[in-house]
Amino acid sequence: MNLKLKKRITTSVILFLLTIFCIFINPYVFIIAIIIVSYLSWYETKHLINSINKSVTNWQRVVFNLTTLFYAFGIFTVSAIGLYFLLGPVFFLYALSVCICSDIGGYIIGKNIGGKKLTKISPNKTISGSLGSFCFSMLPLLVFNNFDKFEYYLYSIDNFLFCLKVSLVCQLGDLFVSYFKRKAKVKDTGRILPGHGGILDRIDGIIFAVPFVFMSIVGFNNFYEKYFDIFFAIKN
């Protein structure tokens, strides 16, 4: 096992344990953690955009920065807190596990099988890795079903399809960030995480998948009504 892979595994284990701690220790700790992650993601995105060549005008950079700021602190943060309070910390961990397993599946299968490239946007991505992501994304459903019979953990076509859709969104999010990294001619968005790079390198799929999960379950029609419920849940 090479040094980079050891660092990647060690960092992943630490991050997973830290995530579980933030999810279950206290709701306020969770909210603070989400805000910190949102800020770091936005900060890395801002620097990534600013690193892109001068063909991008200043006003375009401003638009990109404001858009990513709104997404990080508006859409992602609101969706994460919404999932946590409306469906509970266990479900949030489940949704997060689907994203993580999708990423792990793509990495393991892609590295060991290889094969035809998926796209020019990210040369390291392969079709086999993408299929591995889809397959691994269903593992949390098998695990959580043994502990709880919540409707979203039951063995059903809808729930298996839900995992596949979340995996697809994760992969698209990964490719979206990879596109900007390629334009900026950088390998990683930062250096804060040994073996991974930046925060955005680790959660590029998650920041797109969490809002997707939230809107898929809650829906736009019930958005304001549900957040009114969250307000009273936090207050009490």
pTM of the complete model:
0.86
pLDDT at 94: 92
Q: Angle at the Cα of 34 (from 71 to 151), degrees rounded to 5?
A: 90
Q: What share of the chain is helix, strand, coil (3-state, %, to 5)?
A: 75, 0, 20
| Token code pair at residue 147 | 């502990």
Best CA proximity match to 204, nearest among 56, 111, 68, 19: 68
Best CA proximity match to 140, nearest among 127, 129, 126, 154: 154
pLDDT (tens, 9 = 90+) of the chain, 236 residues, equals 566 667 777 777 888 899 999 999 999 999 999 999 999 999 988 888 878 766 667 777 777 778 888 888 888 998 899 889 888 899 999 999 999 999 889 988 988 888 888 888 888 889 999 999 999 999 998 888 887 777 788 888 888 999 999 999 999 999 988 888 888 888 888 888 877 788 988 888 999 999 999 988 876 555 555 555 555 555 55
pLDDT at 55: 62
- SS3 for 173-219 is HHHHHHHHHHHHCCCCCCCCECCCECHHHHHCCHHHHHHHHHHHHCC
| Token code pair at residue 200 | 């955005």
Cβ count within 10 A of residue 182: 15
List C-alpha distances in Å: 120 to 15, 68, 104, 112, 174: 30, 24, 21, 20, 13
pLDDT at 232: 55
Residue 126's DSSP bridge partners are: 117
Q: Which residues contact 24 (CB under 8 A, 6 or more apart)?
A: 89
pLDDT at 1: 53
Q: Break the chain into its structural domains and give their ranges.
A: 3-235
